C-alpha cells in the first residue's frame, strides 16, 4: 500500500505575491506535507472580461479578469517555485486552466497533473494533458457519475494513470457534506486510486479518508486565519496542517497493522491476572464448611479461580480452615 499523499493547496492565497508563494512552500514543507499545489491562471487564455465573480471579495480588482491577471506569474517565476520545492524535497503540483498553462507547466517540469473539477468538461485542456502521458489527479466536485464514467473510460483507453478525488464544491464545506461515502464508492466502482479534496477547514475528514484508503488528501492552506482571500474560511492553518499530517500517518499505521484479537489476548495473559478477579472467601471459614453465595465474592487479582466460576463453587465443602480474603483454588474445596 502506497502512503497517502498530503497536498497543501495554495490556490490564490499568495494574492499575486511571489514572496508569499515561496513562503507557502516553506510552510507546507515544515508541516510535513508531501506536495504543495498552486494554480496557473493565464487570464487571456482562460477567461473573458465578462467572467462574473464567485464571491466579490477583492477591493483592488475591478473585475474577475483583472484578478486573474494579477495572479499570474512569469515562466521564470514558476521555474523558481518548482526549484524551491525541489530544494526542500516537497513535490510541486500545479493545476492548469488553459492549454497555454499546460504548455508552460510542461516546460517547468511537471510529474503529474491536478485538474480542478470545473475543467472536467474542457476537451482542449484534457487533450493537451493526455498528450503529455503524465498521471492525472482530478477533483470531481461538479461531476456526475455519468461524467466520471466517461472520464475513467477515456483515461483507460489513453493509458493515463487516473486518480479521482471526492470533492464537494462548497466553501467551506459542512462536515455532513464531505461525502466520504462517494470516495469509497468511486474506489469500488472504478478500481483506481481515489482520495479526498477537502474544503471543510477541519482535520478529521482527511484523517478518516486516509484510514479508508485515500491515496491523496488535499486541503487548502492559509498562513493565518486573518489572511486575505476567498478560500481562507475553507483552509487549514499551518498548525492544523501539521496535525493533519500526523493524523494521516497514524491512520496509515493503524490500517497497515491489523490486530489479531486472539493473539493479543494470549499476549495479555499477565495483565489478565492483574486486572481480572478471582473467587474469594469473604470471611474466615473452618474445614467442612459448606460454601454459600454469601461466603463468596469476586476480587482482584485474577490468580485464583476465575470469578466466572463463582456460581459453581456454591455448595462445595472446604477441605481446610481458611482465613478471610483467601483466593480459592480447586484444592481448597471438594
Go through 119-133 and write b for each residue having 16 or more CB atoms within 10 A of its CB, e for each that does not. Answer: bbebeebbebbbebe
Give the SS3 label for residue 235: strand
On whether both 248 and 319 belong to a single domain, the answer is no
On whether both 180 and 215 belong to a single domain, the answer is yes
On whether the CB atoms of residues 13 and 220 are closer than 8 A, the answer is yes
Residue 71 lies in a domain: yes
On whether the CB atoms of residues 162 and 135 are closer than 8 A, the answer is yes
pLDDT per residue as tens digits for the range 281-290: 999 999 999 9
On whether both 215 and 278 belong to a single domain, the answer is no
Cell of 197: 479534496
Report how far apart the first and last C-alpha atoms of the chain are (Å, whole number): 58
On whether both 315 and 273 belong to a single domain, the answer is yes
Please say if the pLDDT value at position 7 is more than 90. Answer: yes
Host domain of residue 95:
5-256
Q: What is the CA radius of gyration of the chain?
A: 31
On whether the CB atoms of residues 304 and 329 are closer than 8 A, the answer is yes
- pTM of the model as a whole: 0.86
On whether both 81 and 159 belong to a single domain, the answer is yes
CATH number of the domain to which 284 belongs:
3.90.1210.10
Residue 333 lies in a domain: no
Q: Which of 224, 241, 256 is the last residue of a domain?
A: 256
pLDDT per residue as tens digits for the range 139-194: 999 999 999 999 999 999 999 999 999 999 999 999 999 999 999 999 999 999 99
CATH number of the domain to which 194 belongs:
3.20.20.70
Residue 245 lies in a domain: yes
On whether both 166 and 269 belong to a single domain, the answer is no
Beta strands in 141-212 (DSSP E): 162-167, 194-198
Q: Which of 222, 237, 256 is the last residue of a domain?
A: 256
On whether both 87 and 159 belong to a single domain, the answer is yes
pLDDT per residue as tens digits for the range 23-41: 999 999 999 999 999 999 9
DSSP 323: -
What pLDDT is recorded for position 115? 96
On whether both 186 and 273 belong to a single domain, the answer is no
Q: Which of 196, 228, 256 is the last residue of a domain?
A: 256
On whether both 158 and 198 belong to a single domain, the answer is yes
Residue 230 lies in a domain: yes
Count the domains in the chain.
Answer: 2
Cell of 252: 496509515
On whether both 244 and 275 belong to a single domain, the answer is no
On whether both 246 and 291 belong to a single domain, the answer is no
pLDDT per residue as tens digits for the range 229-252: 889 999 999 999 999 999 999 999
On whether both 231 and 278 belong to a single domain, the answer is no
Please say if the pLDDT value at position 126 is more than 90. Answer: yes
Residue 334 lies in a domain: no
Residue 200 lies in a domain: yes
Pairing of strands 162-167, 136-139: parallel
Residue 332 lies in a domain: no
Amino acid at each position: 500500500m502506497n502512503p497517502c499523499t498530503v497536498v497543501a493547496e495554495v490556490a490564490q492565497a499568495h494574492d499575486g505575491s511571489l514572496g508569499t508563494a515561496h513562503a507557502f512552500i516553506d510552510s507546507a514543507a515544515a508541516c510535513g506535507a508531501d506536495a504543495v499545489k498552486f494554480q496557473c491562471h493565464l487570464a487571456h487564455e482562460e477567461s473573458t472580461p465578462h467572467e462574473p465573480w464567485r464571491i466579490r471579495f477583492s477591493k483592488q480588482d475591478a473585475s474577475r479578469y483583472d484578478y486573474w491577471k494579477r495572479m499570474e506569474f512569469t515562466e521564470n517565476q514558476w521555474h523558481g517555485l518548482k526549484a524551491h520545492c525541489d530544494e526542500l524535497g516537497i513535490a510541486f503540483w500545479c493545476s492548469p486552466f488553459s492549454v497555454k498553462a499546460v504548455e508552460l507547466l510542461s516546460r517547468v517540469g511537471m510529474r503529474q497533473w491536478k485538474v480542478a473539477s470545473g475543467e472536467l468538461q474542457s476537451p482542449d485542456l484534457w487533450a493537451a494533458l493526455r498528450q503529455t502521458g503524465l498521471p492525472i489527479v482530478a477533483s470531481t466536485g461538479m461531476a456526475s457519475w455519468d461524467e466520471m464514467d466517461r472520464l475513467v473510460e477515456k483515461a483507460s483507453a489513453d493509458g493515463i494513470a487516473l486518480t479521482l478525488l471526492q470533492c464537494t464544491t462548497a466553501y467551506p464545506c459542512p462536515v455532513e457534506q464531505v461525502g466520504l461515502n462517494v470516495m469509497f464508492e468511486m474506489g469500488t466502482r472504478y478500481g483506481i486510486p481515489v482520495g479526498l479534496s477537502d474544503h471543510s477547514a477541519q482535520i478529521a475528514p482527511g484523517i478518516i479518508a486516509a484510514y479508508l484508503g485515500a491515496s491523496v488528501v488535499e486541503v487548502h492552506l492559509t498562513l493565518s486565519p486573518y489572511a486575505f482571500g476567498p478560500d481562507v474560511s475553507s483552509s487549514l492553518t499551518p498548525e492544523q496542517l501539521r496535525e493533519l499530517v500526523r493524523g494521516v500517518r497514524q491512520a496509515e499505521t493503524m490500517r497497515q497493522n491489523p490486530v489479531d484479537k486472539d493473539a493479543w489476548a494470549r499476549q495479555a495473559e499477565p495483565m489478565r491476572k492483574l486486572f481480572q478477579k478471582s473467587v474469594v472467601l469473604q470471611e474466615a471459614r473452618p474445614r467442612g464448611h459448606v460454601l454459600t453465595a454469601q461466603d463468596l465474592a469476586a476480587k482482584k487479582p485474577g490468580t485464583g479461580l476465575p470469578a466466572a466460576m463463582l456460581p459453581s463453587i456454591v455448595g462445595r465443602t472446604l477441605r481446610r480452615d481458611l482465613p478471610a480474603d483467601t483466593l480459592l483454588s480447586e484444592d481448597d474445596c471438594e
